[in-house]
Structure 1
Amino acid sequence: MLSLSAAMKSYPYLIACPHCGCVYRLRPLVGKDVAQCGRCLTILYRSPPMDPARLLPLAFACAVTFLMANAWPVMTVSFHGLTHDVTLWQSMWSLAQGDTFLLAWCAVLFLILAPSLQIMLLTWILLFASAGRRAPGFIALMKTLRWLRPWNMMEVGLPGFLIAAVKLSGLLDVAVEPGGWFLVASLMLVLMITRQDNHWLWSLDSAVHRGRTHHA
């Protein structure tokens, strides 16, 4: 009978099929290779379409552009000589005044908080992975990233922002400010980074761990 410590032990160099439960050893893939389950043909993981060494600079760029998108005005609204700069936070605050309070909190959660946390966690993990090391709390962070993925609604919020700007332009003079362009850039970078298959991070982690065990 397995002891509790053995039963609770994790095996980051193994992967289980989410459908039939078959267990396989993680192997490096090259090019456009795909790892499939031999029993049910479910795709287990893919080779990274982007060189992992390029992900860290992209993550830093994504963090900077998203920060600037939240700090700078996203648009300027003019009406009869009166001009007003609008930031993301100002638009959320305006939504919170009245019956759309719940909508404002959902917008803050899905468009600002979830993407911010996702970017920070991924940058933290890639910072250590670039040095061939696991980040502190690696397993918990990876689980959190997987949980956050469906809550990132930037790809839905940005088209809504553009539609609102177009509709307002029929009534007011609307001009896109630097924050709006930073928002577009951060969305593109977020999509590029978060849509990557991150199984290679688990492989790197297990390789480092096995190497330390072998030398010990």
Structure 2
Amino acid sequence: MGTTPPEALLICEHCDTVYRRQPLAHGDVARCACCYAVLERHHGLSVNVMLALVLTAMIVFVQANMWPIVTLGLNGQLSGATLWGTIIVMWQQQAQVVAVLAAGTLFFFPLLKMSLLGWLLWFGRLGRRAPGFVPMMVTLHYLQPWTMSEVFVLGALVAIVKAHLYFDVMADPGIYAYAVLTLLITVFAGVDLRQLWELTPEDRA
């Protein structure tokens, strides 16, 4: 193994077992034989495709936060609600903890994740490591569990169904934008970003 180049090896990040890298077909996942952790996934998306998806997600993200999510009607009066309008109301109603969690998981964390991904992929398409590559990759690893747009969409749909018993409820474009954003985030969740370590070799100059 001493003559094996480092790029031909895989090391389990959980138990440190070393493997020789094998070519993977579409849909294949390499797992550790000792702890069954995921070692590597087939790279189905190129860097250019991932960058295009990030830019699309950012456009949809802006629309989801600008457009109303739902409109409630009662006795002929209509009231629309946006995400930030709801967060502000929760803050004013002494629900600061919920407001902060909603703002973080639905706005700041997804925005930070998309910004970091866009920055890394912009340089990655050129075969280069972006400035701040290592701390950004570490940050993305820890951000992964904190982007909860799918939870918000499911919760909003349940709330719309229940509110329909008391109000005239109309789903607005914002909720559809969040649904599309959820699909894009789901696609990224299945992408092994560790491939960027190999696609962008460290500059040894």
Q: What TM-score do you get using the length of structure 1 for normalisation?
A: 0.82
Pairing of 1:132-147 with structure 2 (within 5 A): 132-147=127-142
Q: Equivalent residue for 2:3? A: none
**Is residue 67 from structure 1 mapped to residue 62 from structure 2 by the alignment?**
yes
Distance change (3 Å), C-alpha of 1:48 and 1:171: same
Q: Distance in 2 between matches of 1:75 and 1:22?
A: 51
Q: Which sits farther off after the overlay, 44-53 or 12-21?
A: 12-21
Q: Distance in 2 between matches of 1:28 and 1:204?
A: 15
**Is residue 98 from structure 1 mapped to residue 70 from structure 2 by the alignment?**
no
Q: Distance in 2 between matches of 1:172 and 1:199?
A: 48
CA contact (8 A) 2:106 2:149 kept: yes
Shift of 1:15: 4.7
CA contact (8 A) 2:149 2:178 kept: no
Shift of 1:47: 1.3
Q: Distance in 1 between matches of 2:72 and 2:43?
A: 43
| Secondary structure in structure 1 of the residue aligned to 2:200 | helix
Q: Which sits farther off after the overlay, 125-134 or 142-151?
A: 125-134
Letter in 2 for 1:62: A
Task: Output one character per residue of 1:7-29: Cα deviation in whole Å (capped at 9) or x when no partner.
Answer: xxxx8886531233134576764
Q: Equivalent residue for 2:145? A: 150
Q: Equivalent residue for 1:165? A: 160
| Secondary structure in structure 1 of the residue aligned to 2:73 | strand
Q: Distance in 1 between matches of 2:95 and 2:76?
A: 29
Shift of 1:75: 1.4
CA contact (8 A) 1:13 1:202 kept: no
Q: Equivalent residue for 2:13? A: 18
**Is residue 46 from structure 1 mapped to residue 41 from structure 2 by the alignment?**
yes
Pairing of 1:66-215 with structure 2 (within 5 A): 66-206=61-201, 209=202
Shift of 1:33: 3.8
Task: Output one character per residue of 1:55-98: Cα deviation in whole Å (capped at 9) or x when no partner.
Answer: 11111110110111001111111111211121000111111122
Q: Equivalent residue for 1:5? A: none
Q: Distance in 1 between matches of 2:118 and 2:23?
A: 22
Q: Which sits farther off after the overlay, 94-103 or 12-21?
A: 12-21
Distance change (3 Å), C-alpha of 1:82 and 1:201: same
Q: Distance in 1 between matches of 2:21 and 2:141?
A: 19
Q: What TM-score do you get using the length of structure 2 for normalisation?
A: 0.86
Shift of 1:160: 0.7
Distance change (3 Å), C-alpha of 1:94 and 1:40: closer
Q: Using the aligned pairs only, state the percent identity.
A: 35
Q: Distance in 1 between matches of 2:26 and 2:88?
A: 47
| Secondary structure in structure 2 of the residue aligned to 1:114 | helix
Q: Distance in 2 between matches of 1:100 and 1:36?
A: 43
